[in-house]
Chain A
Amino acid sequence: MLAGFAEYDGRVLIDGVRIDGVPPHKRGIGIVFQDYALFPHMTVEQNIGFGLRMRNWTASAQKDAVERGIRLLRLDGLGSRYPHELSGGQQQRVALARAIAINPALLLLDEPLAALDKNLRDDMQVELRQLQQSVGITTMFVTHDQEEALALSDKVIVMNHGEVRQFGTPMEIYNSPVDRFVADFIGKSNIFAAQIVAEEGGYLVCRLANGAVVKAPASANAVQGSSIYLSIRPELLLLAHAGRPPAGLENRMEGIIENVTYLGHRSKIRVRLNDDARLDVNQPNVGIGQDASWWQIGQAVTLSWLPENTVVIGD
């Protein structure tokens, strides 16, 4: 739609100018396709220079720009290779160099990291972010990887079934999700239905379906008696032996460990509450005062967390 390859309703503006009637080849949008779409019969240099050739640049200007692109993306020495002679990461850098070479008004990256293995993907994320900031081109990055979205963006748009759910900085999206979809989609969340029973000392006192009473930060539009949802991030919960929660964490719930998944630096623990609801807890395995050995299936535990870490969401 942005690139002009699909039919759509509505309006697309770049720098305040409508581009809806403009055919793809006149839009000047640099695109990195999911499969990179490198021209297999052209060398790296010819690929990077293609857009400039289409713009009828002089041979020497093309050559200079191609060399700049090669240096910028550290493709030195690969200029006369063909795409099939490159690794996945190199192919991707060529695709990026090709898209940047035309000095686009907008850079569109369509899940460019999806085809790479995890380590390479992490490296490329860092590289992409640095590159994007150094060339200063507005970049639209499409991804299904939530962590990637948070790591790479200044602003995130969360979409579900073609509908925009939230628009904001990564921190806003993560810390103050507007609805249950966003709360659960960007990082896992434990979500409870609750009812506001009172308001005291800047906190909402809420009763959960299982009878537990917890506190949440007061919010402007929360009316006493109304039904709301509370979201608690798994990593903000603290796991303790039953009845021995640390002081200071006011919100508490009792449960039994149902499952423990060991992940090296942390463990994912699923706790069954007294009303059979499940709750996910992320605990670091190593750390000051941390002892992971007692987390066993069937163990009775008390979960506690700070009222400030409870997020109130409307629906």
Chain B
Amino acid sequence: MGKGLVVKALGYGVVLCLVFPLIVLIGVSLNAGVEQNFPPHGLSLRWYANIVNRDGFLRAIQMTLFLAVVSTIWSVAVSILVSLAIVRYKFAGKDLLLTAILSPLIVPQVVVGLAFLMTLSTLGIFTSMISLILLHGVITLPFAARVVVSTMMGARISLEEAACSLGAPPWKAFWLITMPLIRPGLGTAAVFAFVTSFENFTATQFLVWDRTTLPVEIYTFVQTENDPTGAAISSAIVLSVCLLVLVLNRLLGLEALTKR
């Protein structure tokens, strides 16, 4: 019984550590005044309204969503091809390919960002749109690929062969048999890729020349301004994520997101 109590206490402790800062954040965002107090002094949504007034935030949100969508589509598509190659075929340098794709997981983000900065400036590319698409394509791929490769391992080749023996051309066998089987994995991969792109700060901040992303914009804002708008937009993200998780849970089931 004593042991159960300790486990419980630990569990609630962890949950508290995760949730409490968010409560503070949301509290601060609701301040009526300019001061960032917790508990808030007076309640108001004026700082949420202020997000819209600041052009920088809107443009950053646009950029961030665009990047997240593009890199999600890209990394899921590439993951399918990569996992087909790795799971279905034998070729020299197979392990090397997998290691290379997964390497952004291990190499520190600062290093990745700096490497991109140096390479792109050498090439004379100073457009954030191009640079960030390249960067996010690279950093989201390992998250998607890991999931898709392991899902593909579960889709037996004999199923496609069976489909072929029954008269399905290879592409149809893949589309009708393998695709439905790896679909949950693709969903998970898409969520991972999207979130990875959306929240990336460390590597992204090296490449914000003419455009910026939301995490970088919030960071810049907090450094220069001193009102709860930063808290407001952060709270807005937290709330949208909660909403997203609810919707995804409805559509896919939470197990689909948590199992690899």
Contact = CB atoms under 8 A, between A and B. Distances in A.
Nearest to B173: A25
A33 interface: yes
Interface in A20-35: 23-31, 33, 35
Interface in B101-146: none
Contacts of B180: 41
Cβ-closest 7 pairs across A and B: A51-B166, A54-B167, A37-B162, A24-B164, A37-B158, A31-B165, A25-B164
Nearest to A33: B158
Contact of A41 (B158, B164, B181): B181
Interface string A96-140: 001100100000000000000000000000000000000000000
A106 to B, nearest CB: 11
Contacts of A26: 167
A153 B177 CA distance: 33
A141 interface: no
Contacts of B168: 25, 50, 54
Interface string B161-182: 1111111111011000100110
A8 interface: no
26 contacts: A5-B164, A24-B161, A24-B164, A24-B165, A25-B166, A25-B169, A25-B173, A26-B167, A29-B165, A30-B166, A35-B158, A37-B158, A37-B161, A39-B159, A39-B162, A39-B163, A40-B159, A40-B181, A41-B181, A50-B163, A51-B166, A54-B163, A54-B166, A54-B168, A99-B165, A99-B166
Interface residues of B, number: 18
Contacts of B181: 40-41
Interface of A: 3, 5, 23-31, 33, 35, 37-41, 50-51, 54-55, 98-99, 102
A55 B158 CA distance: 20
Determine which residue in B164, B169, B173, B177 has the highest number of CB atoms from chain A within 10 A of its CB, and name it: B164
B161 A51 contact: no
Contacts of B167: 25-26, 28, 51, 54-55, 102
B59 interface: no
A51 B164 CA distance: 9
A30 B165 CA distance: 6
Nearest to B160: A37
B94 interface: no
Interface in B169-225: 169-170, 172-173, 177, 180-181
A50 B162 CA distance: 10
Given A33-B158, A37-B158, A54-B168, 6 more contacts: A25-B165, A25-B169, A30-B166, A37-B162, A40-B159, A50-B163
A26 B167 CA distance: 6
B156 interface: yes
Contacts of A31: 161-162, 165
A36 to B, nearest CB: 8
A230 B172 CA distance: 56
B204 to A, nearest CB: 39
Contacts of A35: 156, 158
A3 B165 contact: yes
B156 A98 contact: no
B162 A25 contact: no
Nearest to A50: B166
Contacts of A33: 158, 161-162
Contacts of A29: 165
Contacts of A27: 165
Contacts of B156: 35, 37
Contacts of B177: 39
A166 to B, nearest CB: 29
A24 to B, nearest CB: 4
A41 B154 CA distance: 13
A3 B157 CA distance: 14
Nearest to B167: A54
A51 to B, nearest CB: 4
A39 B164 CA distance: 12
A161 B164 CA distance: 28
Interface in B18-67: none
B16 to A, nearest CB: 41
A148 to B, nearest CB: 21
Contacts of A51: 166-167
A5 B161 CA distance: 8
A3 B161 contact: yes
A240 B177 CA distance: 63
Nearest to B168: A54
A29 B167 CA distance: 9
